[in-house]
Amino acid sequence: MSISAPRYAAGPSARTGPASRILAIASREFFRRARAATLLSVALTFFVVVTSVVVTVIFASFLRAPTAGDFESVYESPVWPFLMLIVAASAGAGSLAEDVGDRSISLYLSRPIRLVDYVSAKTIACGSWLVIATVGPGLTAVAVTGALGYASASVLLAALLGFVATGFVAAIFFTGLALALSSLTNRALYSGVAIFGVILVLYIGGSVVAGITGNIYVPYANPIENIRSVAHGAFGVSGGTATDPASSALTLVGSGVVLWVFALWRMRRVEVVSE
């Protein structure tokens, strides 16, 4: 057998910059996550949010002129956080874990890519799915309600800003959480279960401890309560939450960033341990 050396139809080419390489990893990861579980959970979120908001606003319109606060009702139900957990688990649990598991991470890191670039690319992909799930349905609900003519333009604009603000804060937190837990294992299933476990422990534990101790800072440990509080603030709903909206937003964004840094640190460790 005699084989000729490879001939390249495309001649020498200038190399692209790091942004292009990051985007290549991010887009590949984004479409890799477009699996049934992710698509179904996102579709279900759209259905639940749009239906819930539109029905609430229509019923409110029978009694009075709808306000931005009527659009916030979806955050009062435990269904929305539950759907976000499913989206975070399906879109983010495997993003780092699977690359460590199948060891393709060593291929990425043998390329002109820094670890921080790699983790950033994964963040973009996971964050994109979460933004689609957290912001997209709200914007759709605003568009549908506006098209049906049940709310004024100013109310629709306020609701739109409320959904964007709450959605982005929630997306930052859930992205950081998903990546941090994904960096701890090489099995997507484990990190997926851990996402549910961590949030449930914080939700139930925070409520119980806050009830027993009466400490006003304990509810800040509960991400679901924080998101609800941010939603109240963003949609202009006063009272009804145990935390301050601005402080809750800061807590969620800060936690997301800290968890992201943890994921980065953890990936550096994984690379050494894998030796």
Partner 1 sequence: MPVALIEVNGVSKRFGTVEAVSNLSVELSPGSIGLVGPNGSGKTTLIRLLLGLLSPDSGNLSVLGCDPQRDPLGVRGQVGYMPEHDCLSPDLSGIGFVAHMGRVSGLPKEVAISRAHDVLEFVGLAEERYRKIREYSVGMRQRVKLAQAIVHDPPLCFLDEPTAGLDPSGREEMLELLRALGRLPNHSFVLSTHLLHDADGLCDQVLMLDAGHCIASGPVRELIASHEGESVIRIQGDTDRFLASLLQHGLTPKPMDREIRVELAPGTTRAVFESAAEAGVQVRYLGRSVATIEGLFLARVELPVPEDPT
Both tokens of residue 11? 């001649």
Nearer to partner 1, 103 or 269 (CB): 103
From residue 85 to residue 124, what is the string marking binding to partner 1 with x (rule CB under 8 A)?
-----------------xxx-xxxxxxxxx----------
User: Any contact of residue 184 with partner 1 (CB under 8 A)?
Assistant: no
Question: Environment class of residue 155 by beta-carbon count within 10 Å: exposed (0-12), middle (13-18) or buried (19+)?
Answer: buried
- The size of the interface with partner 1 (CB under 8 A), counted in residues, is 37
- The reply to whether 268 sits near partner 1 by the rule CB under 8 A is no
- What are the tokens at 129? 């799915």
CB of 22 to partner 1, least distance (A): 9
| Residue 5 lies near partner 1 (rule: CB under 8 A) | yes
Q: Smallest distance, Å, CB 103 to partner 1? A: 4
Closest distance of CB 12 from partner 1, Å: 8
Q: Give me the residues that bind partner 1 (CB under 8 A), please.
A: 1-10, 12-17, 20-21, 24-25, 28, 32, 102-104, 106-114, 271-272, 275
